[in-house]
Amino acid sequence: AQLGHLPQRLTSRLASGLVVRLEPLAAPSRLAILAEAAKQKRVPLTADALEWLASQAAGGSVRATLGLLQNLA
């Protein structure tokens, strides 16, 4: 209903349920997400601590990565 501004080929794919594979986050992406989230939550972490947390995220998912920070905050 609200997809009228998109091309027809994309609208039909979205309407039928587009399936995409999501790859786990790479270490630099996990590090960047953690650094930004720590900044927003005002959690002071050293670069070493951020790197260690980023390496601990199971499966590289955003949820797991942010969950580690949440446990500290």
Is the per-residue pLDDT at 39 higher than 80? yes
Mean pLDDT of the chain: 83
Alpha-carbon distance of 54 to 37, in angstroms, equals: 12
| 9-19 per-position pLDDT tens digit | 877 777 777 67
The predicted model gives 25-53 an average pLDDT of 91
Amino acid at 72: L
What is the pTM for the complete model shown? Answer: 0.65
Burial zone of 53 (CB within 10 Å; 0-12 exposed, 13-18 middle, 19+ buried): buried
Is the per-residue pLDDT at 2 higher than 80? no
